[in-house]
Structure formats: structure tokens, C-alpha cells
Structure 1
Amino acid sequence: MKPQGIVLMASCLLLWATVAAATDGKALFDRHCSSCHYQGDNPTYPSRPLFRLYREANGLRTQKDLVAKMRRGGQGMPSFAAKQLSDADAMAIAGYIIRTFD
């Protein structure tokens, strides 16, 4: 295969993986989170919605921060053990939150 073909194929795979991760993050968020965080709100603790300003004020700046919060839960939020939600799925949800609730 010519180098141009390899680069094109790699670019297409990367684009597909990015779109798939974004889609999976939304689907996973809808399944695991949206019942309590519908459209990024938090009816139980209105001062802690998922929007960037509030996330950052509560120390949730990165995907890793959000995954750690998912793992430990607290203040009305259930904890999601790795058996319930894989690390890859938790990262997909965290990425979706960061992209969507800016």
C-alpha cells in the first residue's frame, strides 16, 4: 500500500474512533447519569450542576477528576465501581460531560 493510502486510512480510523467515543459517551451518560443530571442540572444539589463553572469550582477540572468522583460518589451520588462501569466507559462519560456541559 502506498504511504498516502496508509495515512488516509489511519486518519479515517482516528476520525471514526473519535465519533464512536463521543457517541458512546452520550449513550453511557444517558443510561447511567441523566436520570439525576438531566441536561447537566442537579436537582438534588442545585449548586452542583455539571456545567464547567460549577465543576471547576468543585475541583472537577479533568476527565480523571470526574472519573474519581464517579468512583467515590457522595452527597446523594452513587459510587460506580469498576465492575459496574469500566474505566473506558467512565472516561467516555467524563469526556462527554466536558464537551457537552461547557
Structure 2
Amino acid sequence: MKKPLFTPFCILAGFALSGAPALAAPDSKNDGKALFEQHCQACHAGGGNTMNPAKTLKKKELQANGIKTRDDIIKVVRNPGPGMTPFDQNTLSDQQAGAIADYVLKSFK
């Protein structure tokens, strides 16, 4: 006597058609690259500086200007020099400012 294969077939078909779970999209609210593109790229595209070409985001020039750490970048974001828009905590949270700082430090060598 043959056993019905309909039920196991339906179960397997259901698993096959359900597909893999979707991967979570990066949280753009805290993604350094996305935040940089939104808030900084207009003046700092490619790590440059349209307002003051001597103050790029390249590691060597950051260090020459006393900016060596994540916290140093956050301080400049909060209280920049002339020509740069300040970003207070209403615009960028500390976590977001830190994400931008991390992105800058790893991206512009």
C-alpha cells in the first residue's frame, strides 16, 4: 500500500516558497556613511573641503589641525570654526555624531 505524499509535499513546498527572511536594512539614522552623505558631503565630498582646501578630512591634515580622535571630530562638529555649520544635538545626536566621526576616521586616509 502506498503512503500519501501530499502532506509532506505541501509542507516542503510551503518552506520553499516562503523564501529566506529579509535582511535588516542598515539603520540610516545611525549609519555614519549615510549621515555623512546627508549632513557633510556637500562641503566635504571625497574627504575634501570646499570652504578651506587646507583642512580636508584626510588623516594627515586632521592630525595637523589637532584632530586625532573620534571625540575631537565630535567637538568640531558641535563647535566648528568659521564657515562650517554647527550641528547641535537637535540636529545630530551624540551617537550620530560619533557614527560620522567613525566613518571619517576609517574612510579618508
Q: Give deviations 1:47-90, integer Å, cap 9, x for gaps.
A: 00000000000011000000000000222111110111000000
Pair 1:40-2:40 in alignment: no
Counterpart of 2:36 in structure 1: which amino acid? F
Q: Which residue of 1 aligns with 2:71?
A: 64
Partner secondary structure for residue 61 of structure 1: coil
State the 1:30 CA deviation: 0.2
TM-score by length of 2: 0.72
CA RMSD of aligned residues (A): 1.9
Equivalent residue, structure 2, for 1:92: 99
TM-score by length of 1: 0.77
CA deviations over 1:9-67 (Å, ceiling 9, x no partner): xxxxxxxxxx869x810000000000000000012101000000000000110000000
Instruction: Flag structure 1 segments of 5+ consecutive residues without an equivalent.
Output: 1-18
Counting aligned pairs with the same residue, the percent is 40
- In 2, distance between residues paired with 1:20 and 1:63? 20
User: Residue 42 of structure 2 aligns to a residue in which SS?
Assistant: coil
- Unaligned 5+ segments in structure 2 are 1-25
Name the SS of the counterpart of 2:41 in structure 1. coil
**Structure with greater proportional helix content:** 1
Matches within 5 A, 1:1-102: 24-102=31-109
Q: In terms of Rg, which structure is larger?
A: 2
Structure 1 stretches of at least 4 aligned residues deviating more than 3 Å after TM superposition? none
